[in-house]
Amino acid sequence: MEVTRIFDILPNYLEKYPDQKVALAGKPNGTTGWIKYSIQDYIEHVNYLSYALIKLGIQKNDKVAIISGNRPEWNMLDMAIMQVGAITVPVYPTISENDYHYILNNCEAKMAVIEGAEVMNKIDRIMPDTPNLTLVYTFINRNRFQYFDQLLELGAQNICVEELEKRKAAVDGKECATIIYTSGTTGTPKGVMLSHSNILHQIFNLQQTPAKTSKTAFSFLPLCHSYERTLVFMYQYLGMSVYYAQNLGTIATDLKEVHPTMMTAVPRVLEKFYDKIYTSGAKQPFLKRKIFYWALKVRRQYKIIDEERTWCYNIKYNIANKLVFKKIKEGIGGNFDIVVSGAASIQPRLASFFSAIGMPVYEGYGMTEASPVIATSCRDKYGRESGTVGFPLPGVEVAISKCGEVICRGHNVMMGYYKDEALTKEVIDEDGWLHTGDLGKFTDKGQLVLTGRKKNLFKTSFGKYVNPQVIEEKFSESPFIENVVVVGENQKFAAALISPDFNFLKGWCERHDLVYTTPEQIVKEPKVLQRFAREVEKYNAFFGDTEKVKKYELIPDEWSQMTDILTPTLKVKRKMVMERYKENINNLFGIKENEGN
């Protein structure tokens, strides 16, 4: 059948893959096994939810918020909301009460379905100041609001097939399907309006990414993010099973149980995988340890394109693969066709490592305002080359402006920012070009290379421009460094705030007979400071004098979503760092408070 609205994916799935026993699967905390839903179960639940929404008075273009982590019920609600002509507003369950207040009022949400006691308490407190929000449901019974099973039962008792079909027929593919609020790395969240057509064109042009034999997807990145949600729509369009991780801490265990053929990730998660694998070699007996690290050296010369690998290298690689790489892959899940990395640039060393062990990393690039993909790796020759984000997606025109900014136009460009025409005009010009704010260039083969963020560039007091993103990405290769922010606007040199990887540091201390106490104490330990000095010297060697980090400070605080330093896709909120660590930054440059900036 023809798929012109996102919810058309469901009858298409049933028609093409009726025997798929697992369309969606989750493992709620406290359960021992996976709860699985066939495509028939999935559609039945979606229709019951649609009937319930109609009974509750949800009308066309009403906004319904989903505030939850990943779970099969998330997809069911999403499809049900769109089927009745309403608009889904995905909201992260980790944001502040103030953000909930702003988003739910800005979009005029009439209903919210929420997960977690903490979120429930926040919503409870803001409801008196959120007049449009009249319906709140929780996913499980929390003895405060009505809950998901009651919503299903309401639908089962109020079946209205004709009305639902009428609602579905009234939805046009060019209409708004969802409003996604940006993660707010630069300020107030902005509501990005995406149409059914915006998202479906992405799916149609990404469907060649997984192999035809790829049938099981694993998901742990938040569905609230357009990147993960679009890929999950694609999985369903292709009839793949989607398994949701219990939480970030259970990924390793879940992978071994699911044996997925595909998943998405962000570079920081892949770095964690790599660091854990690398340090595991140190615990092996002498001979195995030598073989293990020899194999890791072999993978450094691994070339993604087959014909670029020499026969001599292939002999070494085959030995390394048999002795080490195959075992690593089996330990991760053993069945991967591809891993798609997005949200930030992946380091070439990580791309080559995972490709070498049989987990090819495809890199995607985009932004919520681009639905979200602008360019991506592909299976064509040179379609997956280290240091690039691949070729522009079919149907998406990409160019580099005079100032070096990546701009694009095509079927992926958003409808606009909700209730903000002026801001929309700032990012989409009269010719339809979306201005991304990213700096980039094309290779001679036509692949897109990202070189930094336009707004993050700063100039030293000597008039030299510094691109902090390039420096940060290089320093983040160190297993000792979790995150780093380079500063130096109008100063004589570049400096940095470094957030150590305390888990790795703890293991390092054990191997060097140091007592690990607290983060606050360990960052003052002389031997630790000496080790970090060597790391900074090592990575400074890659840069010219202007870009070298001349001073730095180790920050003992946890940088996470809970501390509001990281976005849900684990990107650092630079503005928040600059505000929270203003005194630390001033001390690096010898600035006294009364001297200002």
For 533-579, the three-class secondary structure string (H helix, E strand, C coil) is: HHHHHHHHCCCCCCCCEEEEEECCCCCCCCCCCECCCCCECHHHHHH
pLDDT average, residue stretch 205-225: 92
pLDDT digits (tens, 9 = 90+) for 297-312: 888 888 777 777 888 9
With a cut of 50, say whether residue 407 has pLDDT above it: yes
- Closest to 14 in 3D by CA, of 50, 46, 48, 52: 46
- Closest to 300 in 3D by CA, of 230, 348, 265, 232: 348
Question: Cβ neighbours of residue 546 under 8 Å, at least 6 residues apart?
Answer: 460, 462, 464, 466, 494
Question: Exposed, middle or buried, 541 (CB in 10 Å: 0-12/13-18/19+)?
Answer: exposed
- Give the strand pairing for 338-341 and 262-265: parallel
**Domains along the sequence of the chain with CATH:** 6-171 (3.40.50.12780), 457-595 (3.30.300.30)
pLDDT average, residue stretch 184-212: 88
Alpha carbon distances (Å) from 51 to 5, 46, 168, 231, 592: 19, 9, 12, 27, 64
With a cut of 70, say whether residue 594 has pLDDT above it: no
Q: What three-state secondary structure class fits 407?
A: strand
Across the beta sheet with 494-500, the strand order is: 481-487, 494-500, 549-554
Band of residue 596 on the pLDDT scale cut at 50, 70, 90: very low
Enter the pTM of the model.
0.85
Cα–Cα dist 501/326, whole Å: 27
How confident is the model at residue 197, as a pLDDT?
98
With a cut of 90, say whether residue 204 has pLDDT above it: yes
Q: ω into residue 372 within 30 of 0, thus cis?
A: yes
**Residue 507, token pair as written in the block:** 């293991």
| Cβ contact 320:342 at 8 Å | no
pLDDT digits (tens, 9 = 90+) for 496-553: 999 999 988 998 998 888 999 899 999 999 999 999 999 999 999 999 888 899 999 9
